[in-house]
């Protein structure tokens, strides 16, 4: 794989989902990983009971796993109805209620990257109004992230799977990053480069890496087609990861793929065990 220069983190919201949430950190550790990331785990609760937060924190600490990334509340993932911060009404209110809760949880575990997903376009409200709401909420998120020494991530999804999402290209996501940084003056918004989503959009991945590696705060990978592990599709991850390194990206690479029909622990054969731990 030629990936020894990269640090890998396992997304426990798409891998190890055959296990209860609180058992997943230990399972990732048993598979050789010391770093994990999560979508917001409580899809119906932007502000869950403190006991739920404490239990997950304990599970991560007991497993010896570092939390490297966390989504703000974004509804039910995965699926076409994802994202909340640009959706007027209840969903954006849920996002705002979640911001300080998510930031506080991240801070308690030393997590320094928070992903803020745009929402789908909705009828009856202009695109301009939705984008203005998004920018206001992203400023709120960026300020919360800044208080804990973290970055806020802006991710491009893909148009085939999320046709109503307005952020479905690398240039558009980076444009939002620049808007947030200009509005806050904090310079802590960064691009989340998800190579699966970008490949689904038909983008030139080598060109995206060359152009945007410098503003990238996190990378996620899955093969295409199928969103499986590297080697199950057509993407050349030896080349892509090498290009990321060449262009100066030295952050985490999140494994955000579907494990296939078997247990998640069996989906890591492409990555030699000595390369799974954080360097």
23 and 82 in contact (C-beta within 8 Å)?
Answer: no
Please give the average per-residue pLDDT across 170-187, as a whole number: 98
Residue 34 neighbours by CB under 8 Å, 6+ apart:
64, 65, 66, 276, 277, 278
pLDDT digits (tens, 9 = 90+) for 129-171: 999 999 999 999 999 999 999 999 999 999 999 999 999 999 9
Helix, strand or coil, per DSSP, at residue 137? helix
Cα 268 from Cα 39, distance rounded (Å):
20
Separation CA 153–CA 217 (nearest Å): 7
User: Which positions are catalytic?
Assistant: 155, 256
pTM, rounded to two decimals: 0.96
Task: Using alpha carbons, list the distances in angstroms from residue 56 to 51, 60, 178, 207, 255.
Answer: 9, 6, 34, 39, 20
What does the pLDDT average to over 246-252? 96
Pick among 3.40.50.300, 3.40.50.1000, 3.40.50.720, 3.20.20.150: CATH of 7-268: 3.20.20.150
Structure token digits, residue 261: 């029909």
3-state DSSP percent of the chain in helix, strand and coil, to 5 = 40, 15, 45
């Amino acid at each position: 794989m030629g990936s020894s220069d990269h640090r890998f983190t396992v997304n426990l919201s798409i891998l190890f989902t055959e296990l209860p949430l609180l058992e997943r950190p230990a399972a990732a550790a048993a598979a050789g990983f010391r770093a994990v990331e999560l979508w917001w785990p409580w899809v119906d609760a932007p502000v869950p009971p403190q006991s739920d937060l404490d239990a997950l924190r304990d599970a991560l600490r007991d497993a010896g796993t570092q939390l490297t990334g966390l989504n703000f509340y974004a509804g039910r993932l995965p699926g076409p109805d994802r994202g909340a911060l640009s959706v007027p009404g209840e969903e954006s209110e849920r996002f705002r209620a979640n911001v300080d809760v998510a930031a506080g949880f991240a801070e308690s575990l030393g997590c320094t990257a928070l992903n803020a997903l745009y929402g789908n376009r909705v009828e009856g409200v202009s695109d301009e109004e939705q984008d203005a709401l998004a920018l206001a909420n992203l400023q709120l998120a960026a300020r919360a992230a800044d208080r804990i020494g973290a970055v806020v991530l802006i991710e491009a999804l893909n148009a085939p799977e999320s046709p109503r999402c307005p952020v479905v290209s690398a240039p558009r996501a980076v444009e939002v990053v620049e808007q947030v940084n200009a509005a806050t003056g904090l310079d802590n918004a960064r691009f989340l480069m998800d190579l699966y989503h970008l490949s689904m959009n038909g983008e030139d991945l080598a060109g995206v890496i060359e152009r945007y590696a410098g503003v990238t705060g996190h990378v996620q990978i899955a093969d295409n087609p199928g969103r499986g592990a590297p080697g199950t599709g057509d993407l050349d991850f030896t080349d892509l990861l090498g290009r990321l390194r060449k262009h100066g990206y030295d952050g985490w690479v999140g494994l955000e793929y579907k494990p296939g029909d078997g247990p998640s622990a069996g989906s890591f054969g492409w990555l030699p065990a000595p390369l799974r731990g954080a360097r």
